[in-house]
Amino acid sequence: MESFGVTNSQIQALKVFINLLQQHPEFLNDDRLDFLRNYIISLGGKIPEPKKEEPKSEEKPMEEEKKEEETAKEKPMEEDIKIDDPDVIPGDTIEPETINMDIEVTEEMEVQASTKRSEAMEAFNNGEVDKAINTITEAIKLNPRVANFFACRAQYYNKAKKPNAAIRDCTTAIKLNPDNAKAYKMRGIAYRMIGQYQKSVVDLRLGNKLDYDDNTYELQKVVEKFVAIEKQNEKRHNKQQEEKPKQEEQHQCHCGGEKKPGCDGHGGCHRQGGCCGGQGCYGGMPNMGSMPNMGGMNGLFAELAKDPELMAAMQDPDVMTKLSSAMSNPAQIATLMSDPKVGPILNKLMSKFGQNAAQ
């Protein structure tokens, strides 16, 4: 066979080439194969019509693309829906007093404490809030184990715009008596005053469950609206946090941070086809459609003919189909690397490309 200038290796390469054409007859429309088309036509064969290429959109300059990406990254988060609540105030800083909760309470002390409580209620009803606070404090010191004393003082603290002190007293009252409805209601009011709406609505609901009143229910409905706004804001925050990694992932490639044409050197690609100028970032693998390091399509077949393992694999129609797909769409290379048939071939080709590129 070699007597007329054709080697066995060239014959094997031709077999692979014919196999490729059988899988993709449209390749015959390549301008470089006009001699082959003419020969087929002279034998009465037909050449498939070339596929019409879809118009490609103009590729934006790298600087413009990069600027758009940076603008997208710097896009501010949507603003929260503001809660318009005129009753929210800064929290107070009253230091809690020291009360001996284990004091031995006599009957006389109980009577005195009840008297002080009545005096405190009278002062409060007369608008003397500070006097009411001081008087009920005397009652608490005389008998610190009465939950309602603390709940009453919390009510007075709320009136005096001291919600943190009210919250402390309510918490103490609930420890003394978990079923004290007034303590839950007063704490719900105090939480609302400092803008902690979700805690507020929990206490208001429980307080009204223990002892219903219309005023507490009306306040509960107001606070529930604020809670709904907070949850809507939280939901939007969570969604934005979930989308952020996805947006960053879209700009990443497999260049490992190595700066290459079209790449910012941090895994961000600014060109279609990746940071390697459309050649992908898989061990230096070039665009399989042009094979610049292999001398084009002819160089590919010449290399295949030198490797019996590659030649055998290329006889498989499935392998040829997938490989030709990778030649036209390098983006599929990453997926095909895990293919048990095509993966080893791609690895070998990548190795050969690297050797040729270094020469």
Are 116 and 192 in the same domain?
yes
Is the confidence at residue 246, as pLDDT, over 80? no
Residue with the bigger pLDDT between 317 and 184: it is 184
Are 319 and 215 in the same domain?
no
The pTM score is 0.51
Are 128 and 16 in the same domain?
no
Is the confidence at residue 57, as pLDDT, over 50? yes
pLDDT band at 50, cuts 50/70/90? confident
Give the per-residue pLDDT at 293.
Answer: 45
Residue with the bigger pLDDT between 98 and 144: it is 144
Domain of residue 31 covers 2-42
Q: Please compute the mean of the pLDDT values over residues 186-211 and round it to a whole number.
A: 98
Spatial distance between the Cα atoms of 192 and 184, rounded to a whole number of angstroms: 12
Give the per-residue pLDDT at 211.
Answer: 98
Q: Please compute the mean of the pLDDT values over residues 136-158 and round it to a whole number.
A: 98
3-state helix, strand, coil in the chain (%, to 5): 60, 0, 35
Q: How many residues does the chain have?
A: 359
- Cα-based torsion angle of the residue sequence 154, 155, 160, 163 in order, rounded to the nearest 10 degrees: 50
Are 131 and 230 in the same domain?
yes
CA atoms within 13 A on the CB side of 34: 2
Give the per-residue pLDDT at 280.
Answer: 43
pLDDT band at 303, cuts 50/70/90? low
Q: Is residue 215 part of a domain?
A: yes
Q: What is the pLDDT of residues 279-295, one digit of tens each?
A: 444 444 444 444 444 44
* Cα distances (angstroms) measured from residue 210 to each of 96, 179, 182, 197: 28, 7, 9, 20
pLDDT band at 271, cuts 50/70/90? very low
Is the confidence at residue 356, as pLDDT, over 90? no
Give the per-residue pLDDT at 344.
Answer: 82
Residue with the two structure tokens 């006009």? 34
Are 306 and 217 in the same domain?
no
Are 112 and 230 in the same domain?
yes
* Cα distances (angstroms) measured from residue 142 to each of 1, 205, 220, 350: 119, 32, 34, 89
Residue with the bigger pLDDT between 199 and 240: it is 199
Spatial distance between the Cα atoms of 255 and 63, rounded to a whole number of angstroms: 19
Are 202 and 319 in the same domain?
no
CATH number reported for the structural domain that contains residue 185 in this entry: 1.25.40.10
Q: Is residue 251 part of a domain?
A: no
Give the per-residue pLDDT at 29.
Answer: 81
Domain count, the chain: 3
Q: Is residue 135 part of a domain?
A: yes
Spatial distance between the Cα atoms of 182 and 158, rounded to a whole number of angstroms: 13
Spatial distance between the Cα atoms of 316 and 296, rounded to a whole number of angstroms: 22
